[in-house]
Each structure stands twice: as structure tokens, then as C-alpha cells.
Amino acid sequence: MALNREIAYIDLSTAEIKTAPIPIGMRELYLGGRGLDMYLLYNHLEPGVDPLGPDNVLTVSAGLLVGTPASASARTHIGAKSPLTGFVGSSNMGGFFAPELRFAGFDHLVIKGKADGPVYLWIHDGEIEIRDASDIWGENIFDTQELIKDELGDPEVKVLCIGMAGENLVRFANVMTGMKNAAGRTGMGAVMGSKNLKAIAVRGTMDLEIRFPEESLEYNRQLIEHIGSTKFAQIMQKWGTMFIYGVTNTTGLVRVRNFQLNQQIGGNIECEHIEKYSLGTEGCYGCILHCRHKYQIKDGPYAGTYAEGPEYTSQGAFGMEVGCNNFETILVGNHLVNMYGVDTLEIGSMIAWAMELYEKGILTDEDTGGLKLEWGNDQAVLEMIRCIAERKGLGDILAEGPLRAAEKIGQDSIKYLIHVKGMSNLHSDERSTPSLALGIATGSRGSDHLRSRPAIDLYHLPEELLRKIYGGPRPYDGPLSSDYTSYEGKPRMVQWQEMMYQAIDCTGICKYHTIFLSPNLIRFEELSKLIYLNTGLEFTPEEIWDIADRAYTIERLFNIREGLTREDDWLVDRYFDEPTPIGLPIARGKCIDREKFKQMINEYYELHGWDEDGVPRPETIKKLGLDGEPSHKL
């Protein structure tokens, strides 16, 4: 059954490997994927460990429905204590690694210690080997995967790996598989690098049993038809996430020149530009959205290079945030971050911040080694990517992430940082959208749009429809507002999305198949059916909500154990003090109201059953069955 996959404990210091089944009882509490990873982190990590030391614990997992005919269930989740934030590290990616891990017999890997020299793991049909990676250390993301497949003599092997950024302990290095699938956030690549773990290679030929095969196929077919019929799917299939830029830039909801503007005037980096470069689109395992473009760079030193992407995030990182207005720079920048294995969002934010410091005279030519860090200097942006990944010059400081870099640079550099909990914000401007602002302020892994963003708030949906979505499955009869500039009812939207994304991350389904950018996709009800048809486990939508709540609360407890306080659920001052200068009337002259925002956070805590300091109340902990944690059952 899809439920008979095992968990493997791998100690890289002692080369000891143990495997164990995952009891159904644990599935009933956490499903799998991110949820079970969070339980494992809370149970296996001692509080206060150095995230880049041997005591950090790295988890790699496939969600509960990965490899089944559920909708696009391909996600690999990676967890550890984050070297960027010091709180929960958690990131996931699509591609083909997670299904292969399941075909090889495993759902969760718990990796501890540190190897003496570079190694990689070779996992195949129930076997796990630690192999020498000295020859591969130093290779980029693409070559690493090909070299390992050559060494193992099987082109069907799937590899996740780190690039030079992870080896160099860049605190926002990512973990990747394929050309562009990246577990980008919270620096999981640096954790792998600190353990001398270059890669994990998997190949499996074991049956993954489906509880009700015929019914599952039939339901999948219905979902494909339904999802494929939405306008959202049709746009995604054609343009990928780059389509978002047109709307958000026109309205004035993007972050330009670090945080100086909220609209790119004369912006010329719309998704349509990809047509000139695109060679078609590519999908992750079992997904009909195929949202990433295959493209070829046409000019310059990388002419002829094949790459995949870019996403909306790279339009920000190498476009509006750094004041660049050249689509080809985005294509090259996207290729470079994937080659080095570094988070495109964080690196773009760090470079944009450095540019603002350069403009203000806090950074000088002496600091930059003569590099003119001026807005719109495309070549300087691309050069800084290299410097950060290779930790050269100023790049060595920026590679430390927002807060540590600000400490090193000093003066008042910290006041120009756009971050929450030490992780940079997406290049969106949330000053007009209190719900989105609340989401990034409270996200358990730091500022992030994939933890709780109620993106459909931007669609001004009728209250009646909002009630249908956000009114359940655990009842809510408080206010809900169609106006995205309102503060009313938004905490519920954020909480609901948190629960939805948590549940989805436990199953390994992609967020684009759930209510994220379209109100018509998978919710708790459909999830309940998907879990039942594929695994036989019966959960009501309400029970799935409770599982998500349990997993989210354990993330909160993890963060509190690492020193999180209410002050960490907060935005930088610029959100409150600097009104948005341009954009459509709805997004112009807006900033977040401190008092109302404080109220929102209170309301959000209350919905969660947390006290006014943001600590889960004893009765909440008891209700969720977390009173015995850490329970060391796994």
C-alpha cells in the first residue's frame, strides 16, 4: 500500500543506517510529507543547536499521496532548522524525485551528523548506501546530476543535490532536482553542505499500491477535466507564474528598487516575452499544468545555453527589485541561480538591498570592489549572483542573509532590509493588502507567500463565495470582506490558507492545484476523497483541518522553543511609515496601520487558540494531542 513506505535514519558521522515502518497512528496524526517532517524535527532536534553544525537534523520526504493518481502529487519536502532564520526550515519542490523515493521504498529520510568528506546517498529498492562524492564536489547542479547517473549507470536515476552555493554554506542555498525544481527557501542547501552531503540519488522499481485503483483513476480524470477547464489552468499552461506580473505591476502591488516604488514604470518584462525564447513547456510528475518554460538564451556569454523557468519570483529578483527592465537579464539570472543552487528570491532581495545601500552611500566602491551597484545595472546584478554563490568580496557578506549581513555592514543598513524573521519578502508590496501583509508577518518559516497567502483576496470575490470557502470546514461566522484593502475578516483567510497549504504539503500535491491562485480548485472536501481513494484512510474535511492545525502548531512550538516571540510576527517599519507612492488609486498612498495590524494579529492568535504572546494555550495543545510532545514515537 501507499502506506507501507518506511522511514530511514541515517547518521553521516557514524555511517549507521536504520529503517523503520511508519505506524498508521502517525499517519492519522500527521499524514506525511511536511506534517510528519515537522514532528520528526520537533522530536529529533535539540533546542539551540547550530543550524550549520552536525547536530542539525535534515529531513527529506515524499508526501502521503505522491506517486498516486491524485492530482499532481510530486512534491518533495525538505526540513531542518534554518540557517537563515534560526526557526523552522521547510521547503518543497516538484519534479520526479519524490515519486522515485517512494518507488524505492521510502517516504522519510532523517539525516543526522556530518560525513568526514563529501558523500552522496544512493537509495534503491529498500537499500541505502553512503558513497564517496569527492569527484563531484564543486560541480554545478546540472553536471552533478548527470555525473551521478553516469556513475550509477542508469539514466532513470533521480537526483536531488546542492550546487556551489550549498557547498559554500550560503545561508539561502537551495536543494534542487532537474533543471529548475528547487526547494528554494530557508537555506536547506546550506544544511546539506554543512553535512558534506552533496546529493541523494534514488531509483525504485517497487509497487506503490493504490487502495481503489479504478475509482482513483476515474476521480483523477474528473479533476483533470475540472482543473483544465479553469481560466487559471489555461493561463498557467501557457505562461507559467510569469502571468502574475501583468496584473500586479499594473495595479501597483510589486516591490521595485528594494522598496522605493510599488510599480515598475514602463515595465517591459511581461510573460509574453518568453515566446521569443521558449522551446515549449515542461510538467512535474503527473501534472497537467506544465507551468515551466524550456528556453534557450540567445545572446551574450551564455548564448545557446538551455534552461528552464523563469518564475514570477525571478522577474522580481532580476527585474523590478533591482531596477532592471530587460527580459534577457531575467533569463540569464534564472539560469545562474539554478546552476549555483541558490534561492532566486533571497538573492534578488539581497542584491536590491545592497543597491539601495550603495545609492545611500552606506556601501561604496571600496566595499563592492569597484562594481557599480546602480539600479538597472544588469551586468552588476549578474556579477553579484556569482560573488554571492562563490562568496567573493561583498558577496561573502551578502551570503550570510539579511540580518547577519546588516550586522556586518553596520551603520543604519538594517532599516533598508525588507524581511520577516530574517528571511526576505517576495517582491510583492503588501501595503495595500492587509491580508497578504498578515500572511508574511506570521508565516512559520519567515516572510513567505507559500505559507498562508490568500491570493484570491485580490479578486474581489463576492462575500457569498468567500463564505462558502472560508466558512468551513471548522465553522467560522465572523466577518469576511471582498475588499482587499480592508482589515476585516482577513485573519480567518490567512488561517484557512495556512491549514489548506499545510494539508496539501502533507500530501505532496502542488499548491497550484489547490485554492491559491484560483478559487475553483481542490479544498478539504476533495482532499478527503483523494486520501480515501488512494490510501483507504478515512478523514472528514474537519479531521484534515485538525491534522493541519496539529502540524502547524508543532511548527509554532518549534519556533517558540528556538526563541520566537510576538515581536517576530511583525513587519519592518517601512510598511507602516512610507505610503505607496504610485499605482492605481486602490494601491496608491497606502501603508499598513500599526494599531489595526496589531488587532489583526490578536484576532489571528485567537483563531488559533494562542495567547496574546502568540503561545499556544494549554487547552489548544491538549485539544490537538500535543501535550505529550516530544513523544519520540519515531
The least CB distance from residue 205 to other proteins, in Å, is 4
Contact map string, positions 362 to 401, toward other proteins, x by CB under 8 A: ----------------------------------------
Residue 282 touching other proteins (CB under 8 A): yes
Biggest distance spanned by C-alpha atoms of the chain:
67
Contact map string, positions 161 to 190, toward other proteins, x by CB under 8 A: -----------------xx-----------
Residue 281 touching other proteins (CB under 8 A): yes
Grid coordinates of 414: 538594517
Measured between alpha carbons, how far is 188 from 88 in angstroms, rounded to an integer? 11
CA distances from 579 to 259, 267, 429, 587, 596 (A): 11, 21, 11, 10, 16
Nearer to other proteins among residue 239 and residue 575 (C-beta): 239
Nearer to other proteins among residue 83 and residue 178 (C-beta): 178
Footprint on residues 468-527 left by other proteins (CB under 8 A): none
Residue 321 touching other proteins (CB under 8 A): no
* Binding residue for other proteins, selected from 208, 362, 461, 465, defined by CB under 8 A: 208
* Binding residue for other proteins, selected from 220, 251, 553, 620, defined by CB under 8 A: 220
Nearer to other proteins among residue 285 and residue 353 (C-beta): 285
Classify the C-alpha dihedral 70-30-87-76 as positive or negative: negative
**Is the CB of residue 511 less than 8 Å from the CB of residue 450?**
yes
**Which region, judged by CB under 8 A, interacts with other proteins, from 21-29, 46-54, 282-290, 556-564?**
282-290
Nearer to other proteins among residue 145 and residue 196 (C-beta): 145
Measured between alpha carbons, how far is 234 from 40 in angstroms, rounded to an integer? 38
Strands 292-296 and 16-21: what pairing? unpaired
Residue 221 touching other proteins (CB under 8 A): yes
Nearer to other proteins among residue 114 and residue 290 (C-beta): 290
Residue 201 touching other proteins (CB under 8 A): no
The least CB distance from residue 178 to other proteins, in Å, is 6
Specify the length of the chain in residues: 634
Grid coordinates of 64: 502521503
**Which region, judged by CB under 8 A, interacts with other proteins, from 67-75, 164-172, 418-426, 449-457?**
67-75
**Is the CB of residue 415 less than 8 Å from the CB of residue 573?**
yes
Residue 206 touching other proteins (CB under 8 A): yes
Residue 224 touching other proteins (CB under 8 A): yes
Q: Is 189 helix (H, G, I), strand (E, B) or coil?
A: helix
CB atoms within 10 A of CB 143: 14
Residue 69 touching other proteins (CB under 8 A): yes
**Is the CB of residue 621 less than 8 Å from the CB of residue 553?**
yes
CA distances from 399 to 12, 363, 414 (A): 26, 16, 16
Nearer to other proteins among residue 146 and residue 412 (C-beta): 146
Residue 308 touching other proteins (CB under 8 A): yes
The least CB distance from residue 276 to other proteins, in Å, is 16
Residue 218 touching other proteins (CB under 8 A): no
* Binding residue for other proteins, selected from 175, 199, 210, 355, defined by CB under 8 A: 210
Element (H, E) at 175: strand 175-177
Residue 529 touching other proteins (CB under 8 A): no
Measured between alpha carbons, how far is 80 from 83 in angstroms, rounded to an integer? 9
Grid coordinates of 236: 498557467
Grid coordinates of 559: 519556533
Residue 584 touching other proteins (CB under 8 A): no
**Which region, judged by CB under 8 A, interacts with other proteins, from 61-69, 398-406, 411-419, 457-465?**
61-69
The least CB distance from residue 123 to other proteins, in Å, is 16
Q: Which residues contact 28 (CB under 8 A, 6 or more apart)?
A: 537, 547
The least CB distance from residue 539 to other proteins, in Å, is 22
Residue 290 touching other proteins (CB under 8 A): yes
The least CB distance from residue 160 to other proteins, in Å, is 13
Residue 213 touching other proteins (CB under 8 A): yes
Residue 147 touching other proteins (CB under 8 A): no
- DSSP symbols for 74-131: --EEEEEE-TTTSSEEEEEE-SSHHHHHHHTTEEEEEEES--SS-EEEEEETTEEEEE
* Binding residue for other proteins, selected from 137, 172, 243, 285, defined by CB under 8 A: 285
- DSSP symbols for 479-531: ---S-TT--TTHHHHHHHHHHHHHHHHHHTB-GGGBSSS-TTSB-HHHHHHHH
The least CB distance from residue 343 to other proteins, in Å, is 21
The least CB distance from residue 67 to other proteins, in Å, is 5
Residue 591 touching other proteins (CB under 8 A): no
The least CB distance from residue 283 to other proteins, in Å, is 4
Residue 276 touching other proteins (CB under 8 A): no
Nearer to other proteins among residue 178 and residue 333 (C-beta): 178
**Is the CB of residue 338 less than 8 Å from the CB of residue 179?**
yes
**Is the CB of residue 190 less than 8 Å from the CB of residue 80?**
no
What single-letter amino acid sits at 570?
A: W
**Which region, judged by CB under 8 A, interacts with other proteins, from 208-216, 413-421, 490-498, 559-567?**
208-216
Grid coordinates of 561: 522553543
* Binding residue for other proteins, selected from 23, 47, 48, 228, defined by CB under 8 A: 228
Cis before 630 (ω within 30): yes
Footprint on residues 78-117 left by other proteins (CB under 8 A): 96, 103
Measured between alpha carbons, how far is 163 from 312 in angstroms, rounded to an integer? 22
Q: Is 554 helix (H, G, I), strand (E, B) or coil?
A: helix
Residue where the block lists cell 553542505: 193
Chain residues in the site for other proteins (CB under 8 A): 67-69, 96, 103, 142, 145-146, 155, 178-179, 205-210, 213, 216-217, 220-221, 224, 228, 279-288, 290, 294, 306, 308
